[in-house]
Amino acid sequence: DEWWLRKAQRKEGCWGFDEKSDCDPAPTALALMAFGALGFDDRDEAVKKGVDWLLAKQDPYGRWNHSALTGFVTTAYVEQALA
């Protein structure tokens, strides 16, 4: 699983729902939580790139899902991953 996560990470530092989808905060957060469960932190290059991508994508209201009315679920995933 770690190998696949590393292979699926985009050069921008994010992940998509699949190989053809755009980068998205939700799968990026879930990938970072998986790395955390494997014992990695932001000293790992893949984790650092993912964290940096998420921090750059937060909107002025504090959300990460710009297409949802509230962005509650995605924001909760991202906050858990960043914790």
For residue range 19-57, list pLDDT tens digits in order.
899 999 999 999 999 999 999 999 999 999 999 999 999
Distant-in-sequence, close-in-space partners of 9: CB < 8 Å, separation ≥ 6 = 15, 31, 46, 49, 50
Structure tokens at 59: 């909107």
The pTM for the full model equals 0.92
- Average the pLDDT over 9-20 and give the result: 95
**Lowest mean pLDDT segment, chosen from 10-14, 32-36, 42-46, 61-65:** 61-65
Structure tokens at 53: 């991508």
Calculate the CA 43 to chain-centre distance: 16
